[in-house]
Homo-oligomer: A and B are copies of this chain.
Amino acid sequence: MAVYTHLGAEELARLIAEYDVGQLVSAKGIAEGVSNSNWLVETTQGRFILTMYERRIDTGDLPFFLGLLDHLAERDCPVPATIHDRSGGIYRLIDGKAVALIEFLPGVSPNAPTPAQARAVGAALAEVHLAAREFPLDRTDGLAPRNTLAILERCSSALASIDADLPRALEKGREVVAAWPDDLPRSVIHSDLFPDNVLMLGEQVTGMIDFYFACNGSMAYDLAVTHAAWCFDKRGERFDPAIGQALVEGYCDVRPLGDAERAALPLLAQGACLRFVASRAEDWLDTPADALVTRKDPMDFVRRWDFYVENGARVFA
């Protein structure tokens, strides 16, 4: 959450002039996105989000990410469309860094979602899955369970330094990977649909954002990721069954789950936990304890994982 690069007013005005969006009126750096700089830009014609891709994102992936936004927005999913420049380009370069101009969508991210909101999010996720099936580009899931297990294996000797109870995630992870189903129905999936990445007005989803983990993958796995992200308190100590039920029901209202998908959900949810345990453990070990960035505790997802092991069959019945 930061603005990593300073963009001067004159530079911004020159950039905006490359798009058919009117004159620059205002630009505020916004504290969103973990690896990009973002500005909320106002012109004489409207408001836009300007994103500068800083780290972690490969420019070669931008046609996938930005093309996906266009594909979904054209199919009436609540996703911001990419604004193309005067020559049709979806991104431009400033000092060697890629920047894209993206539609601004209203709404705020729910902090304490209600079941009605979770139902709407489930339905919106299913709509994205259906609409994305015909998206022509591909992107491999770099954070599939076998990959996230490999991340965790690399951290293994240091895991106990984070929490004495963390090393057992390795054995649990190996079991998840061994049992992982590879034949569930696939589409392009969001893979990171935390409440932060959803904008809502009341009970309506007005925006799904931050598709920078999107990839080809199992649709039911994406639902499981969303379940793990929405149905617990921050520390993963309390599961909210009403939220969980509404999320899955909302999803199934739009795209009913097949029997194999439903049966797999308890395991898929554990795979989701493995992924966030691994990425958080890696970030924790990479971040000095006294850095200004708050480190996210991997144990928050070890607790969710334990919950799914014990209650998954019942919760997803």
Contact = CB atoms under 8 A, between A and B. Distances in A.
Interface residues of A, number: 36
Interface in A1-50: 1-3, 6, 8-13, 24-32, 40, 42
A132 B31 CA distance: 34
B108 A9 contact: yes
A288 to B, nearest CB: 7
Which of A2, A9, A200 has most B Cβ within 10 Å? A9
Contacts of A288: 290
A175 to B, nearest CB: 35
Contact of A26 (B2, B107, B290): B107
Nearest to A6: B111
A3 B3 contact: no
A317 interface: no
A25 B107 CA distance: 5
Contacts of A26: 106-108, 199
A164 interface: no
Interface string A217-241: 0000000000000000000000000
